[in-house]
């Protein structure tokens, strides 16, 4: 269980994290979604006690992070897989962590096995690791103490498709056994496929949160047709609101508040063929996320 | 920007009836300090740079002994010569270990792991300080032992009796000097939190500043008069000449160490425990 309450971090006159409140519950995977620079990593660093908050609180299993007597056994944290001493071998990184937590040496071999790092790879220095291998090593460090809570910042970065699939299964399994998983990503799809609950953050603020079903639910209809313009006119004439999914791309189709059946009837009456007709589920979230991302990119370009 | 509905009602129970493997776990025992000390000592030597530092201290100590055996005039083949020859590389390199022990958490960024596993930076830093102290004392004992071997071999080759001219108080003074040297490195690490910056700072203080202040003292009487009270390098280096007995010296050592080591160290640690770890 992770509870974040009114968390705020100010750098000069820039609010990196702005009164963020959410929780990640046991038995569920919580996705922390936002464009790059939205405040995800800062929030997670504050949670792990690495960055002091300006105001607000964050707790893990009901306690402040700093009050956890042996954090590695209760919460596994992977914030940046590249943040390792480059001159240490992968195995030594795990041994140091295991020794700090007071775990037997055998646990290191188990973890190497779990994340599929071979004996030979484990003996190499981290400077020679690919990002994917570092990510696996970081995950092994996080899982070492068999913690109830996992916090992972962009864990899919650098993993190949098989690796991403493997990690997804691992995290789902952790939640299924009653663990709490909080992971961040700047990719909507990544979060959609794994998360039970989603927290969307942009410009330091939580802009949406809820279960995946709630957030993806959309009553509107999505329709694609060769003659999008004519269909839009017909729907508008029938009294429905219509908008282009992507103003720049007519083949992306239209979203309308008319029902599936009504949309079909309007098209039939107008004599317009259809390419696709379905519920617009997920469109709202995608729209909002694209909007957030576009805002961020404009700021970066400015 | 659109805002979708926020739903506190989503706080439903975990999926139907799956027993949690993580419920009702007892809180783990706190991490004892001795374990942190062990871990920090290990981290000083388990990297490539740490390994080479240790190896080079050993190699230099052996080379220095060999050089004394081969080239020192017979009447100088005494324990003091060996101890000095072996002790010099130690005195130079041990502070580097202390520097890297602190700075690598930032420069190599492994502080991200260290400080999430132990969210009390004061404890971690104290363990590093204790570790540096252990290394400084152990290093001197090793140097003393290598010196013993060198002295025995050297005098046997010369066919003379081995001369043991380093007293316990001399040795104590040398250990103290090295401990102070290690804390110079520790202070620079804590204040600068960057390996290159702290190493350069160490080299400047130990090798650039010393000839400068020596020249200044030779040229300017006023500086020569106050030097024992303001020049830490000067007061610390007196310890290599034996354990001073007069109270004024200890007052000078206390003043210079407080001003040049303790105050910056305190300031550095104050900032270090508050700094962001990225």
Residue partners of A157: CB distance under 8 A and separation at least 6? A81, A131, A135
Q: Do residues A79 and A45 lie in contact, with contact meaning Cβ atoms separated by under 8 Å?
A: yes
Residues 202-221 of A with CB under 8 A from B: 202, 206-211, 214-215
Q: Chain B within 8 Å of A84 (Cβ-Cβ)? A: yes
Q: Can you tell me the mean pLDDT for B99-106?
A: 92
Cβ pairs A/B, distance under 8 A: 168
A12 class by beta-carbon count within 10 Å (0-12 exposed, 13-18 middle, 19+ buried): exposed
Asked if residue B75 has pLDDT above 70, the reply is: yes
How far does the CA of residue A24 sit from the closest CA of chain B (Å)?
A: 9
Q: Chain A within 8 Å of B26 (Cβ-Cβ)? A: no
Asked if residue B47 has pLDDT above 80, the reply is: yes
pLDDT range class, residue A299, cuts 50, 70, 90: low
Mean pLDDT of chain B: 87
Asked if residue B14 has pLDDT above 80, the reply is: no
CA torsion sign for B182, B183, B184, B187 is: positive
Q: Chain A within 8 Å of B120 (Cβ-Cβ)? A: yes
Give CA–CA dist A172/A28, Å, rounded.
Answer: 8
Q: What are phi and psi of A32, to 5 degrees?
A: -110, 100
Q: What are phi and psi of B103, to 5 degrees?
A: -70, -30
Cross-strand partners of A5: A57
Residue partners of B225: CB distance under 8 A and separation at least 6? none
For the ranges A189-193, A202-206, B11-15, the lowest mean pLDDT is seen at: B11-15
Cα–Cα distance list, A48 to A96, A192, B110 (Å)? 19, 25, 14
How far does the CA of residue A275 sit from the closest CA of chain B (Å)?
A: 29
Mean pLDDT of chain A: 92
How confident is the model over A199-244, as pLDDT tens digits?
999 999 999 999 998 888 888 899 999 999 999 999 999 999 998 8
Domain boundaries for CATH 3.30.70 within chain A: 221-280
Question: Secondary structure of chain A in the HEC alphabet?
Answer: CEEEEEEEEEECCEEEEEEEEEEECCCCEEEEECCCCCCHHHHHHHHCCCCCCCEEEEEECCECHHHCCCHHHCEEEECCCCCCCCCCEHHHHHHHHHHHHCCCCHHHHHHHHHCCCCHHHHCCEHHHCCHHHHHHHHHHHHHCCCCCEEEEECCCCCCCHHHHHHHHHHHHHHHHCCCEEEEEECCHHHHHHHCCEEEEEECCEEEEEEEHHHHHCCCCEEEECCCHHHHHHHHHHCCCCEEECCCCCHHHCEEECCCHHHHHHHHHHHCCCCCEEEECCCHHHHHHHHHHHHHHHHHHHC
Give CA–CA dist A219/A281, Å, rounded.
Answer: 7
pLDDT range class, residue A301, cuts 50, 70, 90: low
Radius of gyration of chain B from Cα atoms?
25
Between B5, B43, B278, which is nearest A214 by CB?
Answer: B5
In this structure, CATH architecture of domain A2-210: 3-Layer(aba) Sandwich (3.40)
ipTM over 0.90: no
Q: Under CATH, to which class is A221-280 assigned?
A: alpha beta
Contact at CB, B31 and A77, closer than 8 angstroms: no
Contact at CB, B15 and A288, closer than 8 angstroms: no
Residues 99-158 of A with CB under 8 A from B: 99-102, 125, 141, 148
How confident is the model over A10-56, as pLDDT tens digits?
999 999 999 999 999 999 999 999 998 899 999 999 999 999 999 99
Cα–Cα distance list, B178 to A165, B132, B206, B234, B245 (Å)? 54, 11, 13, 14, 19
Optimal mutation site among B27, B35, B117, B123, interface A, most CBs of chain A within 10 A: B117
Give CA–CA dist B121/B118, Å, rounded.
Answer: 7
Q: Which residues of B touch A285 (CB under 8 A)?
A: 4
The pLDDT score that the predictor gives to residue B22 is: 86
Q: Do residues B246 and B223 lie in contact, with contact meaning Cβ atoms separated by under 8 Å?
A: no
Asked if residue A164 has pLDDT above 60, the reply is: yes
Domain boundaries for CATH 3.40.50.300 within chain A: 2-210
Contact at CB, B43 and A96, closer than 8 angstroms: yes
pLDDT range class, residue B234, cuts 50, 70, 90: very high
The pLDDT score that the predictor gives to residue B177 is: 92
């Amino acid at each position: 269980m992770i509870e974040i309450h009114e968390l705020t971090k100010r750098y000069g006159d820039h609010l990196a994290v702005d009164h963020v409140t959410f929780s990640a519950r046991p038995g569920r995977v919580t996705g922390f979604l936002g464009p790059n620079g939205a405040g995800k990593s800062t929030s997670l660093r504050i949670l792990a006690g690495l960055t002091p908050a300006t105001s607000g609180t964050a707790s893990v299993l009901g306690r402040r992070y700093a009050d956890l007597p042996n954090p590695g056994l209760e919460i596994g944290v992977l914030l940046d897989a590249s943040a390792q001493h480059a001159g240490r071998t992968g195995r030594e990184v795990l041994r140091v962590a295991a020794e700090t937590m007071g775990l037997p040496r055998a646990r290191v071999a188990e973890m190497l096995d779990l994340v599929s790092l071979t004996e030979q790879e484990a003996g190499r220095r981290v400077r020679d690791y690919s990002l994917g291998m570092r990510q696996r090593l970081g995950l092994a460090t996080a899982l070492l103490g068999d913690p109830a809570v996992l916090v992972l910042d962009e864990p899919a970065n650098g993993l190949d498709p098989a690796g991403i699939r493997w990690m997804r299964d691992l995290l789902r399994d952790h939640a299924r056994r009653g663990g709490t998983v909080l992971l961040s990503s700047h990719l909507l799809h990544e979060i959609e496929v794994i998360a039970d609950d989603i927290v969307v953050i942009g410009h330091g603020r939580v802009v949406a949160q809820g279960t995946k079903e709630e957030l993806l639910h959309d009553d509107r209809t999505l329709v694609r047709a060769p003659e999008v313009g004519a269909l839009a006119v017909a729907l508008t004439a029938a009294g429905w609101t219509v908008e282009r999914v992507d103003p720049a791309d007519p083949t992306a189709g239209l979203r309308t508040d008319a029902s599936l059946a009504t949309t079909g009837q309007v098209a039939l009456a107008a004599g317009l063929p259809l390419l696709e007709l379905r519920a617009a589920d997920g469109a709202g979230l995608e729209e909002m996320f694209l909007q957030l991302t576009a805002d961020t990119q404009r700021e970066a370009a400015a | 920007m659109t805002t979708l509905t926020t739903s506190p009602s989503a706080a439903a129970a975990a999926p139907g009836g799956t027993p949690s493997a993580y419920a009702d776990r007892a809180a783990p025992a706190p991490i004892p300090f001795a374990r942190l000390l062990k871990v920090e000592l290990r981290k000083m030597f388990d990297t490539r740079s740490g390994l080479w530092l240790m190896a080079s201290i050993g190699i230099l100590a052996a080379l220095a002994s060999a050089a004394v055996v081969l080239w020192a005039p017979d009447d100088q083949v005494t324990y003091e010569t060996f101890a000095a020859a072996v002790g010099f590389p130690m005195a130079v390199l041990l502070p580097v270990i202390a520097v890297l022990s602190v700075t690598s958490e930032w420069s190599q960024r492994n502080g991200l792991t260290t400080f999430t596993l132990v969210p009390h930076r004061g404890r971690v830093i104290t363990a590093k300080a204790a570790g540096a102290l252990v290394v400084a004392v152990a290093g001197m004992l090793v140097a003393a032992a290598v010196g013993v071997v060198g002295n025995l071999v050297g005098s046997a080759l010369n066919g003379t009796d081995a001369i043991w001219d380093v007293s316990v108080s001399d040795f104590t003074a040398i250990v103290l000097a090295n401990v102070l040297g290690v804390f110079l490195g520790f202070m620079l690490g804590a204040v600068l939190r960057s390996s290159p910056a702290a190493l350069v700072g160490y080299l400047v203080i130990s090798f650039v500043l010393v000839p400068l202040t020596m020249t200044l003292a030779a040229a300017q009487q006023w500086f020569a008069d106050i030097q024992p009270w303001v020049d830490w390098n000067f007061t610390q280096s007196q310890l290599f000449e034996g354990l001073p007995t007069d109270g004024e010296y200890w007052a000078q050592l206390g003043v210079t160490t407080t001003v040049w080591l303790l105050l910056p160290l305190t300031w550095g640690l104050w900032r270090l425990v508050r700094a962001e770890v990225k």
